[in-house]
A and B are shown apart, each in its own frame.
Chain A
Amino acid sequence: MDKLLQLLSKNSQFTTGEIAAMLGEPEDYIKAQIKEYENQGIIKGYQAVVNWERIDGSYVEALIELKVTPKKETGFDEMAQMCMAFEEVESVYLMAGVYDFALIVRGETMQDIAMFIAKKLSTIDGVISTGTHFIMRRYKDRGMNVFDDDAQADERSLIL
């Protein structure tokens, strides 16, 4: 895998100078390469990994299984686009297995999410069924331990 992308996908806060040093490339090249990836849509954006559970205020996420009837002309894509259009929907994945789409939906309360499913999602033409799984607690998110800050503590001792 491309080392630059690997590095940025783990931490996008390195300066181009630091990245250049780490990868042993000229800084200008790194800058141009990042620009290129952004232009091509390979790098879609830069976001913070937020531990929402630590923030006051309500935050609920659910994973929703969706069974649908694919459209004749457009297959699953049209259904996916309809789901994507809702701002409550964080992620949309086409799945192999017993259901077709997995959606991550976000709201302030469980009631919000329940109403969203009942009123907006289930009523889309072509949706056969939904199954809702509320996320109770996140332990690891996007490769990061968001559960236990002490897990990062250095337990090594000086031996010699």
Chain B
Amino acid sequence: MEYSKYMNSSIQSVSPSGIRKFFDIANEMQDVISLSIGEPDFQTPWHIRDEGIRSLEKGKTWYSPNRGFADLLKEITAYYQRRFGITYSPTTQTLVTVGGSEAIDLCFRTLIERGDEVIIPQPSFVCYEPLTVMAGGVPVIINTKNEDNFRLKADDLRAAITDRTKLLVLPFPNNPTGAIMEKHDLEEIAKVCIEKDILVLSDEIYSELTYGDRDHVSIASVDGMYERTVVINGFSKSYAMTGWRLGYALGPAEIIAQMTKLHQYGIMSAPTTAQYAAIEALKNGDRDVNRMRDEYDMRRRLVVDSFNDMGLSCFEPLGAFYVFPCIKSTGLSSDEFCTRLIMEKHVAVVPGTAFGACGDGFVRVSYSYSLKHLKIALQRIREFLEELKNGN
């Protein structure tokens, strides 16, 4: 059968993720040191796991309410108040989802009408573009630049806006660059959004992972933005809870109500066990977050320092757990660099192009690995560069 004629053309037009290629090569090899994984290497802290187990022991195995358990909704809003100074109603402005990813999808599908333009700064996480297309929207890409520390600039935003622009995706702290947006950066962006009447999806999944005394600032806390921002966050990165699949959306009650409707029909409710664990995470998990952040911070400094020392210039990433060194000095493209690195030295990193065409000349290196692992990998990359230089 000719299946392609039966299947939706939008989904068929979406290309597979570019991160995957190198992972497949790595899987075939022995002795591969990977720096390509985008999830915490820590296990979920024990007291959080224990609460999940306890809920199962008590037989709490039913669906949760569509929006999520009331206690969890309350803890989420208390957390946003406490950490970022933003007030949301737990009953009308909060929705618990299956990971942050579901919340992103719901938000797109709720806001986008066919032909609406969605502005996506790149390099960024691979899901925004395909999910925009699937929702009937038209992705409009803004290339953030190394010289701007990969922050989104208001002028670039202004230049990208047309009459069809509906939504701006704001993915900071950023995967893959590790860039953050500080308050003054956000204020400039806010001015444009308000003036041009566009909404913002603020993906804050890495909000707990910012370094150097800079706390994450949400654009929803900037004057005039609360009413036009949907905040996406979750438990995966901050509490090392990726496998539990739990995220949430916060925003204007009208938008959250429509997203909830979609969630209700498509998913029904987020995993029950994960929600019990997440309540414990928000209540008693601050120490774990700080401990993991401190550990990431040490690794981050070591990796940035090593790359600069090897001669691959690397701007200082202030968020997430990635560094994004520039490899242009090697004369190789991102793809060539990654292919040769894995073939010759068995080290897997991800080409910057996986996160947008403007990522060429860069590679994403995850430091979500033990220091011991990082040291071995960095040594191999150093050897690789030396051999390149000597023309081997």
| A residues whose Cβ falls under 8 Å from a Cβ of B | 3, 7, 11, 14, 18, 21-24, 154, 156, 158-160
Contact = CB atoms under 8 A, between A and B. Distances in A.
A160 B372 contact: no
A158 B126 contact: no
Interface residues of B, number: 24
A158 B19 contact: yes
Interface stretch (B32-40, B220-228, B317-325): B32-40
Interface in B1-57: 17, 19-20, 23, 34, 36-39, 41
A160 B38 CA distance: 8
Main secondary structure of the interface of B (DSSP, over half): helix
Given A156-B41, A158-B37, A22 B19 contact: no
Most B-side CB within 10 Å, residue of A23, A24, A158 = A158
Interface string B123-164: 001110000000000000000000000000000000000000
Contacts of A22: 298-299, 301-302, 371
Chain A CB count within 10 A is highest, among B127, B298, B304, B371, for B298
15 contacts: A3-B294, A3-B298, A7-B298, A18-B375, A21-B302, A21-B305, A22-B299, A22-B301, A22-B302, A22-B371, A154-B34, A156-B39, A160-B19, A160-B38, A160-B126
A8 B83 CA distance: 32
B306 interface: yes
Contacts of A154: 34, 37, 41
Nearest to A152: B370
A24 B212 CA distance: 10
Interface of B: 17, 19-20, 23, 34, 36-39, 41, 125-127, 294, 298-299, 301-302, 304-306, 371-372, 375
A21 B310 CA distance: 14
Contacts of A24: 301
A21 B127 contact: no
A21 B306 contact: yes
Contact of B371 (A3, A11, A23, A160): A11
Nearest to B17: A160
Contacts of A18: 302, 375
Contacts of B39: 156, 159
Contacts of B127: 160
Contacts of B305: 21
Nearest to A22: B298
A42 B38 CA distance: 38
3 tightest A-B CB contacts, nearest first: A21-B305, A158-B23, A22-B298
A23 B305 CA distance: 11
Given A22-B371, A24-B301, A160-B17, 18 more contacts: A3-B298, A11-B372, A18-B302, A22-B299, A22-B301, A22-B302, A154-B34, A156-B39, A156-B41, A158-B19, A158-B20, A158-B23, A158-B37, A159-B39, A160-B19, A160-B125, A160-B126, A160-B127
B338 to A, nearest CB: 14
Nearest to B294: A3
B310 to A, nearest CB: 13
Contacts of B36: 158
A23 B298 CA distance: 6
Nearest to A10: B371
Nearest to A25: B301
Contacts of B298: 3, 7, 22-23
A154 B298 CA distance: 20
Nearest to B27: A158
Contacts of B302: 18, 21-22
B349 to A, nearest CB: 12
Contacts of A7: 298
Contacts of A160: 17, 19-20, 38, 125-127
Nearest to A20: B305
A77 B39 CA distance: 51
Contacts of B23: 158
A154 B43 CA distance: 11
B37 A23 contact: no
A158 B298 CA distance: 24
Contacts of B38: 159-160
Contacts of B20: 158, 160
B93 to A, nearest CB: 28
Nearest to A156: B37
Nearest to B211: A24
B379 to A, nearest CB: 11
Contacts of B125: 160
A17 to B, nearest CB: 8
Contacts of A156: 37, 39, 41
